[in-house]
Structure 1
Amino acid sequence: MSFAQNRLLSINNYFYPRGGAEVLFLEQNRLFEGIGWDVVPFAMRHANNLPTAYENYFPDEIEFGRDYSLARKLLNAQRVIYSRQARSKLGNLLDRARPTIAHAHNIYHHLSPSVLPLLRERGVPTVMTVHDLKLGCPAYTMMRDGRPCDSCKGGRLYNVAVHRCIKGSLALSGVVMAESYIHRWLRLYEANIARFVVPSRFVMETLIGWGWPRERFVHVPNFVDVARFRPDEPIGTRFVYCGRLERLKGVETLVRAAARSGQPLTLAGRGPDETQLRELTERLGADVRFLGHVSKDELADVLQTARAVVAPSECNENAPLAVLEAYAAGRPVIGARIAGIPELVREGETGSLVASGDVEALADELARYAALPDARLARMGAAGRAWVERDFTAAAYRDRLVALYSTLTPGVAA
């Protein structure tokens, strides 16, 4: 079926594969281009952006942690709360490209939700994928000091500044507190987003528990391009982690568990804690390979070398793509029993779950998997592959979104 008459305005802070949200955003763009849609991106200018004919319509870059002048810092603070520049640039883009529908991903802090009322004013139905818990928690995570936190529940948003939840900085936390209060007062999300797409039931139920109406959410699981992976490769000897190298992802716990169990580990990705993790690896004498950033094709090759893929998160993960990619490669998953990860692991069938942050439990599980026969791991990997082929394919994801879009605008054929 052709959808050539349809135009998707696809919105995200970054226009390059910076993290899981960006990967999904870019893959979704390619997916809709593949069925004949005209996809128009709107993002922030950035040196790493992919080439696009629409770059001149992108607002200027904001990068937290950079050493800006005082004047630029003040301008950035204003833009974090409500970016007039992003709204103006989007207005120019809408004059050129009249989209059938808009789909926003991560717009917090950089583009800001200033663009949302403009879309409603122009008659463009807008959906938004919820990649985290920002709609409830100003700091995204609903965690503090490694433990669940509901201090901001019920509108007590001042707690983000009280506890310095944003990078331990009172200044940054204060800006985010102001941002959150203003956005709620203006109802920028509530009044302008037609539906929120949520990849995990955990995040959906959590936000409902914080007061969002259930009817605003649609559960649409993430997807993986299974054709990129070869599930019939022999089971490897190394355990593999793919993702950002930071403590909240549980990577320090994983390195300690690998050292404790004497198991080889491969880390694919970069992040703010890479230096500390390298130092920890050397201090513990662990067999850990740091691959750095790997391309999409290289990632598939890395997963084929795995004995199992580990998702050791210690934060409220939504629906990590690494789990689905592991299954697509025919590899079982050892996941942390936290947030959305248990939804993606069928214990004893496609993998297993361990307590989040428990070095000893994770070390025991690594040792157990090292001792399991390859044939047993291959059967678990095959079960995971069958699961993604049934429920997490690109076609299934696309069809779910097209069906959603069709309920919001008559221009889309379901």
Structure 2
Amino acid sequence: MPALLSINSYHYRRGGSDVVYLDHAALMESQGWENAFFSMRHPKNLETPWSRYFIDELEFGQAYSLRQKLTMAAKAVYSFEAQRKLRMLLADFRPDVAHLHCIYHHHSPSILPVLSDAGIPVVMTAHDLKIACPAYKMLNRTGVCERCKEGSVLNVIRHRCVRDSLSASAIVAVESGLQRAMKAYLKHLTRVVAPSRFFLEKFVEWGWPRERFVYIPNYVDAVKFEPCFEPGDYFLYFGRLAPEKGVATLMRAAKSAGVRLKIAGTGPIEAELHALQAELQGEIEFLGFRSGVDLHALIRGARAVVLPSEWYENAPMSVLESFAFGKPVIGARIGGIPEMIEDGENGWRFESGDAAALAEVLSRVQGTSASDLARAGRAARDGVETRFNWAGYTAAMLALYAGLGVKI
């Protein structure tokens, strides 16, 4: 029986990368693999016997003493605790492959040499751009940023790239400078899974060897989603309310196009967006955080889902979930979004950040017949059944592992 060690900061469904971490392990278990987990202690964690090896909770942004903050900063740069506890786990469990998701600033890259020294192939799914960009996103308050590609990581401090905070940016600059000097990721990652071709090409632009990467798109299990091809009378955005998500652009476009818009989510600019709505007086409804059946009902009842991003999105699960519900998606032409949307087939694309271009698309979709929208919804659903499906994902991952010498 092959054995898999899955490593991630959180052991519960906190965000998209955490969902992939848990679902990937469950999928491998269904293929006959034995699973172990290495994560961080947290009150919301799912129960697992492997929690005895988990590192202590490390939650940035909480109220900690100065001494605790200094300890956390040191761990974010290089965690001896994570090294020690991983060695304890490996003494009790010998994986054929370790698959990493998000480890930065919690486990830190300190765990990478522990795995490679033990002769364990190390695979990482690139949920973000961290192995190139110190601040994960190639984004700061000035917009999309790639200054560190040719320049110093001190750019992170100069432009306060992490949460617009000088202290947080300084910690990340130190951590990134150290990892670059040690070539921690480059030396120890056997393969990197890129869920979008855009991310793969971006890493190569930043100097990574192309042969280190494999493109394996995310998937959804379409049978778990009941589609509704009948178009509703509103457009829907669901997700985080943050500047890079382009929600303000969407609101201006919706007002200009005279269409009905529902926004499901919370985030740091929620108050700003409510103030913008007071100014615009558009037919815009804020629904707050929605999940589960409530969110599913909103998606199924929409005319189309809109993803107006203004940063380098990877391969958004929100697109695949919308497709699975039989809904076309209007997406910004940025990051990995365009490779998921076939313009006029399963959705529509527009130039990122261009409210006028988005308003034109919204008006056009508003005037599209129900039969044509249903046809686009069926094409969207067909895409997740044939292209972004679990069978293709499983086959690709097993082929990757086999290529690393794992006996499947």
Of residues 76, 80, 89, the one that matches 1:80 is 76
1:244 matched residue in structure 2: 240
Looking at structure 2, the residues matched to 35 and 166 of structure 1 have their Cα atoms a distance apart, in angstroms, of 39
Of residues 226, 235, 242, the one that matches 2:231 is 235
- What letter matches 2:392 in structure 1? A
**Pair 43,293 (structure 1): closer, same or farther in 2 beyond 3 Å:** farther
1:150 matched residue in structure 2: 146
2:50 matched residue in structure 1: 54
Looking at structure 1, the residues matched to 78 and 246 of structure 2 have their Cα atoms a distance apart, in angstroms, of 34
Looking at structure 2, the residues matched to 207 and 233 of structure 1 have their Cα atoms a distance apart, in angstroms, of 38
- Determine helix, strand or coil for the equivalent of 1:36: coil
- Determine helix, strand or coil for the equivalent of 1:344: coil
Looking at structure 2, the residues matched to 288 and 27 of structure 1 have their Cα atoms a distance apart, in angstroms, of 35
2:321 matched residue in structure 1: 325
Of residues 234, 256, 279, the one that matches 2:252 is 256
How much has 1:233 moved relative to structure 2? 4.4
**Pair 75,96 (structure 1): closer, same or farther in 2 beyond 3 Å:** same
For the Cα contact (< 8 Å) 2:96–2:406, is it kept in 1? no
Q: Which stretches of structure 1, 4 residues or more, deviate above 4 A after TM superposition?
A: none
1:389 matched residue in structure 2: 385
Looking at structure 2, the residues matched to 267 and 90 of structure 1 have their Cα atoms a distance apart, in angstroms, of 42
How much has 1:298 moved relative to structure 2? 4.0
Looking at structure 1, the residues matched to 102 and 151 of structure 2 have their Cα atoms a distance apart, in angstroms, of 22
Looking at structure 2, the residues matched to 102 and 328 of structure 1 have their Cα atoms a distance apart, in angstroms, of 30
In the alignment of these two chains, the number of paired residues is 408
Looking at structure 2, the residues matched to 307 and 235 of structure 1 have their Cα atoms a distance apart, in angstroms, of 4
How much has 1:331 moved relative to structure 2? 0.9
For the Cα contact (< 8 Å) 1:228–1:300, is it kept in 2? no
Q: TM-score, normalised on structure 2?
A: 0.95
Looking at structure 2, the residues matched to 204 and 257 of structure 1 have their Cα atoms a distance apart, in angstroms, of 32
Between 177-186 and 84-93, report the one with greater CA deviation: 84-93
1:404 matched residue in structure 2: 400
**Pair 314,214 (structure 1): closer, same or farther in 2 beyond 3 Å:** same
1:364 matched residue in structure 2: 360
Looking at structure 1, the residues matched to 264 and 398 of structure 2 have their Cα atoms a distance apart, in angstroms, of 33
Looking at structure 1, the residues matched to 406 and 141 of structure 2 have their Cα atoms a distance apart, in angstroms, of 48
1:305 matched residue in structure 2: 301
- What letter matches 1:125 in structure 2? P
- Determine helix, strand or coil for the equivalent of 2:322: helix
Between 166-175 and 205-214, report the one with greater CA deviation: 166-175
Of residues 173, 196, 201, the one that matches 1:200 is 196
Looking at structure 2, the residues matched to 327 and 87 of structure 1 have their Cα atoms a distance apart, in angstroms, of 41
- What letter matches 1:140 in structure 2? Y
**Pair 289,24 (structure 1): closer, same or farther in 2 beyond 3 Å:** farther
- Determine helix, strand or coil for the equivalent of 2:120: coil
Looking at structure 2, the residues matched to 198 and 177 of structure 1 have their Cα atoms a distance apart, in angstroms, of 24
**Pair 275,23 (structure 1): closer, same or farther in 2 beyond 3 Å:** farther
**Pair 24,410 (structure 1): closer, same or farther in 2 beyond 3 Å:** closer
- What letter matches 2:208 in structure 1? W
For the Cα contact (< 8 Å) 2:137–2:312, is it kept in 1? yes
Deviation track 1:116-145 (CA, whole Å, cap 9, x = no partner) reads 111112221110001121122111222344
Deviation track 1:262-305 (CA, whole Å, cap 9, x = no partner) reads 32222333322233333433443333344444444444332211
1:187 matched residue in structure 2: 183
**Pair 182,338 (structure 1): closer, same or farther in 2 beyond 3 Å:** same
Percentage of identical aligned residues = 48
For the Cα contact (< 8 Å) 2:97–2:406, is it kept in 1? no
- Determine helix, strand or coil for the equivalent of 1:191: helix
- Determine helix, strand or coil for the equivalent of 1:15: coil
How much has 1:169 moved relative to structure 2? 1.7
2:284 matched residue in structure 1: 288
How much has 1:316 moved relative to structure 2? 0.6
Looking at structure 1, the residues matched to 237 and 35 of structure 2 have their Cα atoms a distance apart, in angstroms, of 32
2:334 matched residue in structure 1: 338
How much has 1:258 moved relative to structure 2? 2.4
- What letter matches 1:388 in structure 2? V
- What letter matches 1:224 in structure 2? V
- What letter matches 1:307 in structure 2? R
1:11 matched residue in structure 2: 7
For the Cα contact (< 8 Å) 2:229–2:377, is it kept in 1? no
Q: TM-score, normalised on structure 1?
A: 0.94
Looking at structure 1, the residues matched to 222 and 96 of structure 2 have their Cα atoms a distance apart, in angstroms, of 29
For the Cα contact (< 8 Å) 2:229–2:327, is it kept in 1? no
Deviation track 1:302-323 (CA, whole Å, cap 9, x = no partner) reads 2211110111100111111111
Between 93-102 and 279-288, report the one with greater CA deviation: 279-288
For the Cα contact (< 8 Å) 1:19–1:244, is it kept in 2? no
Q: How does 1:109-148 map to 2 (within 5 A)?
A: 109-148=105-144
- Runs of 5+ unmatched residues, structure 2: none
For the Cα contact (< 8 Å) 1:101–1:409, is it kept in 2? no
1:352 matched residue in structure 2: 348
For the Cα contact (< 8 Å) 2:78–2:110, is it kept in 1? yes
For the Cα contact (< 8 Å) 1:235–1:305, is it kept in 2? yes
1:221 matched residue in structure 2: 217
